[in-house]
């Protein structure tokens, strides 16, 4: 597949069924369509889609409150993993967070999800604690990336973009 054909765009209400399908393919505890609708309608939310042709291959979202942003979800369908789509989606979400005046970004991730840990560390996230029982079957690692609106973080993002070319 030619990755130059992958497009990034906002998630629309009409995309909810496709996003729910991605959820069911990617996550052990997928969000139902109702939760996706509520998230999309909530204030301070930004959800983006990666598409290949007309097929959604990844999506993710952030919540912005005050000077902080929270990565709510990010998922790439399994057959498309390892091609830089998670990185591309993270870049787009972080750009949205910075454009909305966020200075810091946080997330929770399964303790066992080493693939996600690597992606987040690449983006400067550092573990700050554990949330016991955050998931039905597992604890969550809490991670933060600070000063995402500063020059050092901007340089980090520029390096990541250069590596993708």
30, 24 contact by CB (below 8 A): yes
The pLDDT tens digits of the residues spanning 71-112 come to 999 999 988 888 899 999 999 999 999 999 999 999 999 999
Indicate if the alpha-carbon torsion angle 90, 29, 79, 56 is positive or negative: negative
State the pTM of this model: 0.94
* Domain extent at residue 50: 3-164
CATH of the domain at 73: 3.40.630.30
* pLDDT, position 1: 47
The pLDDT tens digits of the residues spanning 19-31 come to 999 999 999 889 9
How many folded domains does the chain comprise? Answer: 1
Show the CA angle centred on residue 18, arms to residues 17 and 21, nearest 5°.
Answer: 90
The CA distance from 22 to 33, in Å, is 11
- Hey, how many other C-beta atoms are within 10 angstroms of the C-beta on 85? 21
Q: Residue 40: CB partners within 8 Å, gap ≥ 6?
A: 11, 13, 16, 47
| Catalytic residue list | 108, 120
């Amino acid at each position: 597949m030619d990755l130059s054909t992958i497009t990034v765009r906002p998630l629309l209400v009409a995309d909810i069924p496709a996003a729910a399908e991605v959820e069911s393919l990617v996550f052990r505890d997928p969000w139902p369509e109702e939760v996706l609708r509520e998230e999309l309608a909530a204030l301070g939310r930004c959800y983006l889609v990666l598409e290949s042709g007309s097929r959604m291959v990844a999506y993710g979202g952030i919540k912005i409150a005050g000077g902080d942003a929270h990565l709510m979800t990010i998922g790439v369908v399994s057959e498309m993993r390892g091609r830089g789509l998670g990185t591309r989606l993270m870049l787009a979400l972080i750009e949205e967070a910075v454009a909305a005046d966020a200075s810091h970004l946080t997330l929770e991730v399964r303790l066992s999800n080493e693939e996600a840990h690597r992606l987040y560390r690449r983006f400067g996230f550092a573990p700050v604690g554990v949330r016991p029982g955050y998931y039905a079957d597992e604890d969550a690692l809490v991670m933060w990336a600070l000063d995402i609106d500063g020059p050092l973080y901007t340089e980090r993002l520029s390096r990541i973009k250069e590596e993708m070319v």
